[in-house]
């Protein structure tokens, strides 16, 4: 720890630049990722029939368990199957993936096509961590 403090005090401009770059990177990633909802917020929207969940995981993962009523569109096919989402124009489309890391790119694609899209924080892994039920059919 002493070496770290010594380095920071001797190289304060370098350390400050590093911190500024980290903050900038964090802000860019937040903006790129778009809006997100917690699993509890998703449940509230689903219960009010104000949202629909689109699961972008592989077919195998989807079959092992998904949010009840979710539609399966694999991530690789979202661009070509986006027109299927036209029937949900009045609802919020929630993108769910495995752990939340891939949903931001799909969210951005669909937002550019005019859909009201958000991503679910933590994906299905967070859904399971919150002990929320998964459907198998």
At 81-113, the pLDDT tens digits run 999 999 998 899 999 999 888 888 898 889 888
Domain extent at residue 52: 35-129
**Same structural domain for residues 27 and 51?**
no
Q: Are 66 and 124 in contact (CB under 8 A)?
A: yes
**Same structural domain for residues 58 and 85?**
yes
Sites in the chain below the pLDDT cut of 70: 30-34
**Same structural domain for residues 12 and 60?**
no
Q: Are 73 and 93 in contact (CB under 8 A)?
A: no
Q: Are 93 and 116 in contact (CB under 8 A)?
A: yes
Q: Output phi, psi for 117, to 5 deg.
A: -125, 140
Q: How far apart, in whole angstroms, are the C-alpha atoms of residue 11 and residue 107?
A: 40
| pLDDT at residue number 96 | 95
| pLDDT at residue number 33 | 59
Q: Are 66 and 134 in contact (CB under 8 A)?
A: yes
């Amino acid at each position: 720890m002493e070496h770290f403090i010594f380095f920071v005090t001797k190289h304060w401009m370098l350390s400050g630049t590093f911190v500024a770059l980290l903050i900038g990177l964090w802000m860019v990633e937040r903006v790129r990722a778009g809006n997100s909802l917690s699993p509890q917020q998703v449940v509230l929207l689903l219960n009010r029939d104000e949202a629909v969940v689109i699961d972008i995981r592989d077919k195998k993962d989807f079959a092992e368990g998904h949010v009840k009523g979710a539609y399966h569109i694999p991530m690789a096919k979202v661009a070509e199957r986006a027109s299927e989402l036209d029937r949900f124009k009045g609802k919020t489309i929630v993108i769910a993936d495995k752990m939340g890391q891939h949903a931001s790119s799909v969210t951005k694609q669909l937002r550019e096509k005019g859909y009201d899209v958000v991503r679910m924080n933590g994906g299905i892994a967070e859904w399971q961590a919150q002990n929320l039920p998964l459907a198998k059919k």
